[in-house]
Amino acid sequence: MGFLYPLYLAALVTAVIPLVIHLLNRRQQKRLRFPAVRFVLISQRRVARTYNLRNWLLLAVRTLAIIFLALLMAHPLWETGVGLSARGAPLSAVIIVDNSLSMQVRDDGTPFKEARQATGLILEALKDGDRAALIATNPAGRGKPSLKHPREAALRDLEPLAVGAGAADLTGALRTGYGLLRHAGGQKAIWVVTDLGLPGWDRLSLPAVGEYDPTVPVKIVTVGSPETSPSATIQALEPRTAHVAPGLDLEIAATLVNFTAAAIPDVAARLTLDDKVRDEKQVTLPADSELTVNFRFKLDRPGSHAGYVSLHGDGFAGNRRHHFTIHTRDRLNVLLVDGDPQRALVASETFFLSRALNPTGDVASSVLLPQVILPGAVGQVDPDGHQAMVLANVATLPPAFVARLATFVERGGGLLLSLGDRVIVEDYNRTLWRNASPLLPGPLGEPQRVPLDQNVAVDDVDLTHPALEPFRDRRLLDSLRSARVSSYFAVAPTGGRTLMRLSNGAPLLVEKKLGKGRVLLLTSTADSAWNNLPLKTGYVPLIQSLVTHIAGGDTGSMDAGITAGTAKRWSTAAAHAGKRVRVVDPNLAEREVTLTPVDGKASGSFDGNHFAGVYRVVSPGGDLELPALYAVNPPPAESRLERMTADELQRKLAPVSHEVLSAGALAGGGTRTDLALALVVVLILTLLFESWLGQRNYE
């Protein structure tokens, strides 16, 4: 039994009106006893008993008439079975379909197949005057829902519905459903077709739904097997190597999780990169716990790479694949010009530099590939064959080489200048400062000697600069600040940024941008002649970070991806504001994103990450320096295949009235009969009886 307009049931309180009138009409008479009329009173009592019985019967009939009238206004409906076939007033139905990932990974996708069939049965049972809206709990493939007529329009909305990679947003779906029904007339109903997966239903919050109508019946159709099968997934991926470049040994750790209380044996964990299997491990997933598996592989080329870690085996469900991407350039060739070579290798100007860039001396495992030459050979060197150059205490530079060096930097190359006792100040100022493309950040002054009784150390370090971010580690920063400097060149930066200062305020490291490239000036030596910096723990990370920075940043990185349903954001140079990029999802659907100026950058955001897989980013001309690929993965909790219990469901939905049905019950159909006509007949008969009884009562 249900009511089309249940608010009218409040009129039932008026049923007490006849009783109140009856009580008010009772007269309180003063009793005077006369012995002569005793026999008359006895006869009157017999007649009064009959009269009172009629009075009470009349009161009951009038009360029933008011009750029937209130019920008639509430428009009662009688339902049998699941009530698919509506009779009477037109029906406005909202059908919420759970298309979260658990509907696909549970029972080999059976729940979602059943959900489509159940939704089709509900839509096909609607009558000509009915309207229906289809709402998905995950935005994958979902348009803007609306109540549609005829039912064929809603059936067309069912066709493109696909399973997304995220969790079920039941709060948002109900908010949309109640909003559609708010201004709809006639009968109203909400159907939810779901597997009752705990991760999605546990997030439901009726207060967050906003304005909801507890009188609208909610029917929950369950699909899939109620039994919980063993489930496991890849919870996270984490790179285990600091540098990523072709030819290097790379390592990535996969955290596997088993959600069930029984161990899952004979699971093959496999790493695939660029459609080739690179590593595989055979493991047993321990009960209700995590397991870390390490994979090793090498890249055979620079560029963008797409890969995934997958689980293979029988007897368990869950999301079995986690995607990742790798973006690399080739290894960095660094040219070192030794301005003070010595017979003893350890005494040469570039000894500490070359060891810092490649501490192991193994070319096969180093990201930075240093090459040392003497100043006399610079005229025969082509700078374009390198990503960075270091001039270490070089006395003078040929004008022709300086011109090539300026062009090299303007095109994106990096230059590190370290000074020393061989540097001729006037020659540097003439060739590197007073020219069309000055490489120095300012004119050099004379060398400054620190008196023996003074203690000048590294003091101010700009930790906001990308090249100095490693020194946010307190131990590395303390190591850097403990270095002592005995000599340095004075410099007055005019267009550069001072990255490090000495304790007396003098610049020690200054950066200048020239075209697409960068120049770093170290006002002291790169060896231990004028400072003891090469003897400190922070020297190796400092040199590696500085050279990598001027060479254009890291050679590469591994990206474990973002969670489905979250936005992907980019940021690039402000000059690219207004340009558009195309994002192609795993289903080859395309959308455009316009870059807008934000905080001095050109930024963009894409929120259509509803499917798991690798997304491509295509920029016009390829000049935006954005990663060409990024990965999207489901939340691991979607592979936890527990179901919401009846008690938990009651607590979540109270005070909304709801009924839980199985998908099989839809096959039996059912009817919904309008009782308004029958109630009108009963009301008329009741009023006729009240009229006849009232006349008899007053005869």
pLDDT in tens, 466-506: 899 889 999 999 999 999 999 999 998 987 899 999 999 99
The pLDDT of residue 170 is above 90: yes
Q: Which two tokens stand for residue 304?
A: 């963008």
Q: How many CB atoms lie within 10 A of CB 143?
A: 10
Residue-range domains of the chain with CATH: 2-77+683-698 (no CATH), 84-227+643-668 (3.40.50.410), 232-328 (2.60.40.10), 332-550 (3.40.50.880), 561-633 (2.60.40)
Kindly report which listed range (104-118, 279-293, 299-313, 582-596) carries the lowest average pLDDT score.
104-118
Prior bond of 447 cis (ω within 30°): no
Distance in angstroms (rounded) separating the CA atoms of residues 644 and 658: 14
Question: What burial class does residue 328 get, using C-beta atoms within 10 Å of its C-beta: 0-12 exposed, 13-18 middle, 19+ buried?
Answer: buried
> Residue 86 — pLDDT band, cuts 50, 70, 90?
very low
CA angle centred on 254, ends 253 and 260, rounded to 5°: 145
Helix (H) or strand (E) holding 570: strand 568-573
CA angle centred on 609, ends 604 and 611, rounded to 5°: 160
The pLDDT of residue 284 is above 90: yes
| Mean pLDDT, all residues of the chain | 86
Cα 261 vs. chain centroid, distance in angstroms? 29
CA dihedral 222→226→230→232, nearest 10 degrees, is 20
CA angle centred on 653, ends 647 and 658, rounded to 5°: 85
**Farthest CA pair distance, the chain:** 155
Query: Looking at residues 586-605, what average pLDDT do you find?
Result: 91
Beta bridge partners of 598: 601
Residues 125 and 670: beta-carbon distance below 8 Å: no
Kindly report which listed range (269-273, 369-373, 376-380, 410-414) carries the lowest average pLDDT score.
376-380
Query: Looking at residues 566-577, what average pLDDT do you find?
Result: 87
Prior bond of 541 cis (ω within 30°): no
The pLDDT of residue 220 is above 70: yes
CA angle centred on 244, ends 239 and 248, rounded to 5°: 110
Of 646, 648, 642, give the one whose Cα is nearest residue 260: 642
Single pTM value for the model: 0.69
Q: What are the residue ranges of helices labelled H in 196-282?
A: 198-201, 206-209
Cα 632 to Cα 413, 524, 635, distances in angstroms:
34, 48, 10
CA dihedral 382→383→389→391, nearest 10 degrees, is 60
> Residue 183 — pLDDT band, cuts 50, 70, 90?
confident
Instruction: Give residue 38's identity as a one-letter amino acid code.
Output: R
Cα 69 to Cα 3, 13, 484, 675, distances in angstroms:
13, 12, 98, 13
Segments of 298-357 assigned E as strands: 303-312, 321-328, 332-338
Three-state SS at 697: helix
Of 439, 444, 404, give the one whose Cα is nearest residue 424: 444
**Per-residue pLDDT tens over the stretch 512-543:** 999 989 999 999 999 999 999 999 999 999 99
Question: What burial class does residue 404 get, using C-beta atoms within 10 Å of its C-beta: 0-12 exposed, 13-18 middle, 19+ buried?
Answer: middle
Distance in angstroms (rounded) separating the CA atoms of residues 472 and 693: 96
Across 146-150, 224-228, 315-319, 360-364, the highest mean pLDDT is recorded for 315-319
- The percent of residues in the chain predicted with pLDDT above 70, rounded, is 88
Q: How many CA atoms within 13 Å lie on the side-chain side of 620?
A: 10
